[in-house]
Amino acid sequence: MRFSLSVIPLLALVVAQPAAAQSGEACALTVSGRVIDAHDRAPLAFAEVFIPALSKGTVADAEGRYAISGLCPGTYLLRVAHLGCETVEREVRLTADLTLDLRLEHHASELRALEVIQDRPDEQVGQAHAQVDRDAMERGSGRTLGEMIAVIPGVSTLNSGPTISKPMVHGLTGNRVLVLNQGVRQEDQQWGSEHAPNLDPFSSDRLTVVKGAASVQYGSDAIGGVVITEPVELPREGPVSGELRGVGMWNGRAIGGNGLLQGAVKGVQGLGWRVQGSSRSMGDSRSADYNLSNTGMHESGASASIGYRNHRWNASAFGSWYARELGILRAAHIGNLTDLQNAISSGEPWYIGDYTRAIDAPRQTVEHLLAKAELGYAMSERGRLVLTYGYQTDDRQEYDIRRGGRSDRPALDLNLITHTGDAVYKHWIGKKVHRKVGFSGVDQENTNVPGTGIRPLIPNYSKQSGGAFLIEHVTVNERLELEAGARLELTRLQVVKYDRSDALIRPEHEFTNHALSIGANWSPADSARIRFNLSTAFRPPHVSELYSEGLHHGSAAIETGDSALQSERALKGVLDLETALFNGRAHALLTAHVSHINHFIYLRPAGYQLTIRGAFPVFTYVATDALLSGLDAAFDLRLVGPFTWRLRASTVHGRDLTNDEWLFQMPSDRVENSIAYAPLSTGGWKEVEVAATSSFVFEQQRIPVGLDFTAPPSTYHLVGLSASAVRPLRKGEIRLGLRGSNLLNAAYRDYLDRFRYYADARGIDIAIWITYRFGGHA
């Protein structure tokens, strides 16, 4: 069976047509009024009023007056934003023209404070993006960050066994997908295929994925996209609130939990705080037929923040700590070439032990600290300056099986210290034009901690980079927004290492790069939206790509760099089409993307090598010119009563233009269908939903001939089931959830799993979670 994506042309045809019900005289309603300050009722000039469901909005005039017309009867969510005020949302029901004054800055009887989010309509014009909200994150309890966002079409994961996953967006991963943690670039040795992001996703309650080249605003490493853990807006009034959650998983016998508290400081208006923590522990995972030995994992995380805001100033501080220890599949480390080739061809691990929660070598430990300070000042009604400083330290140790009782001595011991600084000024130029100008800098120092007794995989280095960007945004009318931007960035890399003759050398590299972007949001009808973005992007080669030499224990492979590699330069176009259909009963989304990347750097298989520590496959960093293209599709249809059908599908084609062959390690085509049952309420329960899911991941046939160590895995089919419900309890609520994965216990291997050479992926798993939310957080 092959996925032809035959549904995609149909969706494209459907998207081009506005819903029949969204036309005619019935869609002639208007909501209008003034945006005013909640304290003194002063008008808030140039406030933004937006209806996210319609991608339709307006900007208030100098007196705070606004009007949005051409609306159909129904219920809408209004999003209101103004410089120096908190972004808020309000639900309104339209049956006739409505006059509504919107009050900003803490008006609890009318407005519900919302997290400060980065997907406001003027922040990502033309960029395809999607979010995983708080409730969806809750349903993903027990999963990694990569697994949580993999529910978004076009997003997959590059795995190294059952516990390590890295986000992949439109076929690009690693240093091509930037992770923003609370608005700060995450720096944590992300170059390794088995180096998952070292952050606790529950330090945020909203995850955003930008599926496009975003180097203009975010700088290097954003060729493929950006994963954003959104800063949570702190409460400014009301009682202490929070939540407690417990999670259990059958496969690996995992247990975990997380909790948070937040509140306002009495007597100091505008001052709020939040503390959060989580922990998870699991033993060996199990495939359909055998134990996956030494795949346990223990992780913990904690964060705290405090912030103050008034009409003109805002200041906040955030700190987080994250630690993880995990085992590397024992069967991936093999003693000689014959056994290695036999292990790859046999279809079964050479080592299968009994289940245990203990973690032995090969294993890795990581610890990551982040401290962030931010200061904002509204210099006028039309302009705001925001300064951000971030400090990060990342410690990584990787342990190999070593003779003489030395397995507790790390074979790789890295310390990475990073300082980041950003200054962004945003101001209005008239009613329809605003500008954002920013400067950013990074100073980074990587050190190999002495005492491993092994030549370092990557050398000591220091890196400095600085960039400046300018973005111009124009609201042409209520249906059309345009944006253009440019960025210039300089990077300097200084390396200290010993060459093969043990002579100390200090090579230096300098890279100058630029990026340009144009984008448009157009709503041809109230029920349809079109986004388009064309961007250039860049990425200097990482030191691992330039100077890796030796065994990378975590990925069980020998990796070799090339010091002559140059910066990657990409041109990417994204077209995003979205519409409502059948009187709002259906929602369709189609994203088409194409990228041309010069000097595309990737790890290419290069045979096997026998070392004193065993036999391992060899991968070499090489550069080529690449062309990537693909489609993402999502379709939701409300069927009879409370039943909904959901379709998710994606495909990516990657070509090596230099060698005229398919690119190595591109994601397979995939289709997911689900049927959800969601009654409004059942007895004392609300938000009830039961869903059954069928997922097909097809055999990857677009591969370079004769390059890989083995043929791609066959097509596999996974069946899942989930259920969740909420029940009010005193001043809070209880939330229950159940999730079953691979319920047919299929034996399969995924093409994007680096350990597919040695063992099957996880078998059946059942997870259960229970949450208690209380206070205003419920």
Q: What are the tens digits of pLDDT across the range 77-119?
A: 888 887 656 678 788 888 888 888 888 763 332 223 222 222 3
The structure's pTM equals 0.83
What is the mean predicted confidence (pLDDT) over 189-215?
84
What distance in Å separates the CA atoms of residue 778 and residue 762, rounded to the nearest whole number?
34
Q: Judge whether 558 and 549 are in contact, CB under 8 Å.
A: no
What distance in Å separates the CA atoms of residue 190 and residue 394, rounded to the nearest whole number?
11
Q: HSE-up of 687 (CA within 13 Å, CB side)?
A: 14
What is the mean predicted confidence (pLDDT) over 313-317?
94
Residue with more model confidence, 387 or 134: 387
Residues 34-50 pLDDT 10s: 888 766 667 887 788 88
State the Cα angle at 240 between 239 and 242, rounded to 5°. Answer: 130
Closest CA to 535 of 495, 485, 497, 606: 485
Q: Judge whether 538 and 570 are in contact, CB under 8 Å.
A: yes
Task: Give 26's pLDDT tier (boundaries 50, 70, 90).
Answer: low
Residue with more model confidence, 743 or 340: 743
Residues 519-571 pLDDT 10s: 999 989 878 899 999 999 999 999 999 999 988 766 678 899 999 999 999 99
With 0-12 CB in 10 A as exposed, 13-18 as middle and 19+ as buried, what is 211? buried
Torsion, Cα 704 707 708 714, to 10 degrees, reads 40
Q: Give strand ranges (E) for 216-253.
A: 225-229, 241-249
Any residues with CB less than 8 A from the CB of 607 and at least 6 apart, and which?
617, 618
What pLDDT score was predicted for residue 152? 92
C-alpha dist (Å) from residue 573 to 30, 177, 508, 594, 630: 35, 16, 34, 5, 11
C-alpha dist (Å) from residue 326 to 12, 147, 285: 44, 17, 12
The b-or-e profile of 342-379 (16+ CB within 10 A means b, else e) is ebbeeeebbbeeeeeeebbbbbbbbbbbbebebebebe
What distance in Å separates the CA atoms of residue 478 and residue 120, rounded to the nearest whole number?
15
Residue with more model confidence, 9 or 454: 454
What is the mean predicted confidence (pLDDT) over 274-280?
96
Task: Give 2's pLDDT tier (boundaries 50, 70, 90).
Answer: very low
What pLDDT score was predicted for residue 40? 60
Task: Give 336's pLDDT tier (boundaries 50, 70, 90).
Answer: low
Q: Judge whether 530 and 579 are in contact, CB under 8 Å.
A: no
Q: Judge whether 170 and 150 are in contact, CB under 8 Å.
A: no
What is the mean predicted confidence (pLDDT) over 142-149?
90
Residue with more model confidence, 78 or 714: 714
What distance in Å separates the CA atoms of residue 52 and residue 76, rounded to the nearest whole number?
9
- The average confidence (pLDDT) of the chain is 87
**Structure-token match 């809408």, residue found:** 76
What pLDDT score was predicted for residue 335? 64
Neighbours of 681 (CB within 10 A): 11
Does residue 377 sit in helix, strand or coil? strand
Task: Give 10's pLDDT tier (boundaries 50, 70, 90).
Answer: very low
Task: Give 478's pLDDT tier (boundaries 50, 70, 90).
Answer: confident
What pLDDT score was predicted for residue 25? 40
What are 447's strand-pairing partners? 415
What pLDDT score was predicted for residue 380? 83
* DSSP β-ladder status, 29-37 and 98-99: parallel
Say yes or no to pLDDT of 606 above 90: no
C-alpha dist (Å) from residue 382 to 82, 428, 429, 434: 9, 5, 8, 9
Q: Indicate the residue type of 241.
A: S
Q: Indicate the residue type of 692.
A: A
Q: Which secondary-structure segment (H or E) carries 544?
A: helix 543-547
Residue with more model confidence, 545 or 335: 545
Q: Judge whether 166 and 174 are in contact, CB under 8 Å.
A: yes
What pLDDT score was predicted for residue 205? 81
What pLDDT score was predicted for residue 121? 39
Closest CA to 204 of 231, 179, 186, 234: 231
Backbone φ and ψ of 546, nearest 5°: -85, -40
C-alpha dist (Å) from residue 66 to 32, 34, 80, 109: 6, 6, 11, 21
Structure tokens at 695: 């997922």
C-alpha dist (Å) from residue 167 to 128, 193, 196: 16, 10, 8
Residues 490-510 pLDDT 10s: 999 999 999 888 899 999 999
With 0-12 CB in 10 A as exposed, 13-18 as middle and 19+ as buried, what is 127? buried
Residue with more model confidence, 776 or 264: 264
Task: Give 625's pLDDT tier (boundaries 50, 70, 90).
Answer: very high
Say yes or no to pLDDT of 432 above 90: no
What is the DSSP annotation of 693-734? EEEEE-------TTTSSSPPPPPEEEEEEEEEEEEEETTEEE
What is the DSSP annotation of 129-198? EEEE-HHHHHHTTT--HHHHHTTSTTEEEEESSSS-EEEEETTEEGGGEEEEETTEE--S-TTSTT----
Say yes or no to pLDDT of 321 above 50: yes
Q: Judge whether 375 and 386 are in contact, CB under 8 Å.
A: yes
Say yes or no to pLDDT of 22 above 80: no
What distance in Å separates the CA atoms of residue 92 and residue 77, rounded to the nearest whole number?
6
What pLDDT score was predicted for residue 677? 95
What distance in Å separates the CA atoms of residue 338 and residue 244, rounded to the nearest whole number?
52
Say yes or no to pLDDT of 170 above 50: yes
What pLDDT score was predicted for residue 318? 96
Say yes or no to pLDDT of 330 above 70: yes
SS (H, E, C) 22-90: CCCCCCCEEEEEEEEECCCCCECCCCEEEEHHHCEEEECCCCCEEEEEEECCEEEEEEEECCCCCCEEE
Percentage of the chain lying above the pLDDT 90 cut = 57
SS (H, E, C) 441-499: EEEEEEEECCCCCCCCCCCEEEEEEEEEEEEEEEEEECCEEEEEEEEEEEEEEEEEEEC
What pLDDT score was predicted for residue 712? 94
Q: Could you tell me the end-to-end alpha-carbon distance of the chain, in angstroms, rounded to an integer? A: 45
